[in-house]
Structure 1
């Protein structure tokens, strides 16, 4: 059955994450990412919008209002909405580690504040009507093990301070679970962190099919693995249900993706669940069926759009139009199976 909702968005950050100037995979401009997204078409259906990365070279987090309105005009000229925004919380951008010292944690909150300011301008412009602000702990998983309880408490305190800022702006924060982020590197630790933050109206979970697949395997947290290599299909679905039952009540933002069971990192990005093409023959996930586990009750949790994420694809793949048509076709199948009107 064809559904009108959720809206289908493409992420802009695959043009930036893992990209480095002067290499075979330099950053791809926002203009080019918009062109590729707008050119995708499947049986007359198109993407409805984009999710944005709030850092250079796509977005200056300190851009003045006029520059941000011009960006909004450009996005709207394609008939797109802007949905979720990625706050520049990492060291080397605006922010710093949520598990760091007082100064680092102050920078983290500042990054969220800057993201909220931009969100407000987009909202007032009219190009943004839904979506969240995405965060993570902005620090690697290895150091967390030095003192798990204290470090989770510290991250939770930072998230709470950021959440107060977000709530004042009418925004929600979605913490992206990836095996590379401290305190968020396993499904169980992610639940523990969200419970420690204890602000479910403002802080939730951003689920990505590729990243959460590695949660099952316990890649950076073998003590929380739900599956072992060589598992059978009959073992997969009960494990997937256990994980999604724990995290779905927190899930307020959702990324459609594929994973081949490996980790990957390029540029400055640490290794995490590898994003693969939607039709990758080595993909481990039945994308449409897995998406249904996360999208149960999505409307009640305020989800109005879903987004594709294909971070760290080589530029040659991103520059091939058929890549985006295949992705859009997969997104449409997800919406047809699990959407609403």
Structure 2
């Protein structure tokens, strides 16, 4: 029997920027991440591509045609493709999706720029699939001051951004992370997506971030697992994941493989966010290969084949960890297990 070759396995480059920039943790150059991704190998299997955050100094959202052609040539030179892109929709270049008209216009303009990059990379031939990732660029605490009104504003901004994206043939995926207002719980996320009501807007599931919806950190009333849940209760965890994925899977158009240790950082009642951890972390609460199936298979256990590629997302790791080749080999090994269990052949 031949090994599965879909979904394609991608690494993410934005962990080289997110949480970096000071003297102790300088930004990891794009070329370094590209080289380490290409060098990763497990039993002859390698990464197929990369997903890119459109941030300076990696790949600016204002990149020219010539710059994107050079990027494509560089990535192709490592036998990799490009998949999903992250739109830099946050202030000061962008703005809150529930902010003033000026702020929301800046948000939409950043989406337009990201979609332009995506379309041009598709035309070059280096980007066969993938979405443009967005969030609300506002905090749960700010959102909670007027939940109904702010959800309505976020949805309006997302609709306008979706119409812009459609002009470029792109889809927008809203990230399921508890630190974004109007997206901070599974019920809030569904309310927002229902209000948007655009065929090219969906959900980006991240096994680490979206996992925290189960625990209701920024929305206790929406927690799925019982308040007295114990981590050793694998059966209860499985039932919680079934409930969560049944609600969000129909919306899901992009998927990140990741691990989580069940903890958050941040302060206050409405600004906590999750920690990724390495796939080999003994404190990891997810069975990565098995639990990915809740997202990649339907309620009857049939493959959805909704995504042509899946991506590893692991932010906030120390540079000393991210610059070890073993780290990327271990990550690739976890990705391969997901594809072995929930992939297919073409």
Return the TM-score normalized by structure 1. Answer: 0.95
Matched, 1:226 2:224: yes
Out of 53-62 and 249-258, give the one that drifted further. 53-62
Paired with 1:34 and 1:272, the residues of 2 have a C-alpha distance of 27
Closer/same/farther in 2, CA of residues 300 and 166 from structure 1, 3 Å limit: farther
Deviation at 1:340, TM superposition (A): 1.2
Paired with 1:150 and 1:300, the residues of 2 have a C-alpha distance of 35
Give the corresponding residue for 1:329. 333
Return the TM-score normalized by structure 2. Answer: 0.94
Give the corresponding residue for 1:33. 33
Matched, 1:262 2:274: no
Deviations 1:204-249 (A, max 9, x none): 0000000011110001000001113425222111111111000000
Residues 97, 103 of structure 2: 8 Å contact kept: yes
Shift >6 Å, 4+ stretches: none
Give the corresponding residue for 1:180. 179
Paired with 1:328 and 1:238, the residues of 2 have a C-alpha distance of 28
Give the corresponding residue for 2:83. 83
Give the corresponding residue for 2:115. 116
Residues 108, 161 of structure 2: 8 Å contact kept: yes
Matched, 1:206 2:204: yes
Paired with 2:340 and 2:281, the residues of 1 have a C-alpha distance of 21
Deviations 1:10-40 (A, max 9, x none): 0000100011232x11110110000110110
Paired with 2:224 and 2:237, the residues of 1 have a C-alpha distance of 9
* Partner secondary structure for residue 174 of structure 2: strand
Closer/same/farther in 2, CA of residues 322 and 292 from structure 1, 3 Å limit: same
Residues 84, 130 of structure 2: 8 Å contact kept: yes
Give the corresponding residue for 1:69. 69
Residues 119, 170 of structure 2: 8 Å contact kept: no
Deviation at 1:324, TM superposition (A): 0.4
* Partner secondary structure for residue 254 of structure 1: strand
Give the corresponding residue for 1:240. 241
* Partner secondary structure for residue 275 of structure 1: strand
Give the corresponding residue for 1:160. 159
Structure 1 gaps of 5+ residues are: none
Paired with 1:77 and 1:213, the residues of 2 have a C-alpha distance of 36
* Partner secondary structure for residue 84 of structure 1: strand
Deviation at 1:263, TM superposition (A): 1.4
* Partner secondary structure for residue 149 of structure 2: helix
Residues 296, 305 of structure 2: 8 Å contact kept: no
Paired with 1:66 and 1:264, the residues of 2 have a C-alpha distance of 41
* Partner secondary structure for residue 217 of structure 2: coil
Give the corresponding residue for 1:315. 319
Give the corresponding residue for 2:291. 290
Paired with 2:114 and 2:341, the residues of 1 have a C-alpha distance of 33
Deviation at 1:98, TM superposition (A): 0.4
Residues 252, 301 of structure 1: 8 Å contact kept: no
Residues 98, 108 of structure 1: 8 Å contact kept: yes
* Partner secondary structure for residue 278 of structure 1: coil
RMSD (Å), alpha carbons: 1.4
How many aligned positions are there? 334
Residues 137, 182 of structure 1: 8 Å contact kept: yes
Deviation at 1:304, TM superposition (A): 0.3
Residues 263, 272 of structure 1: 8 Å contact kept: yes
Paired with 1:271 and 1:13, the residues of 2 have a C-alpha distance of 20
* Partner secondary structure for residue 157 of structure 2: helix
Paired with 2:89 and 2:294, the residues of 1 have a C-alpha distance of 29
Deviation at 1:264, TM superposition (A): 3.7
Residues 292, 338 of structure 2: 8 Å contact kept: yes
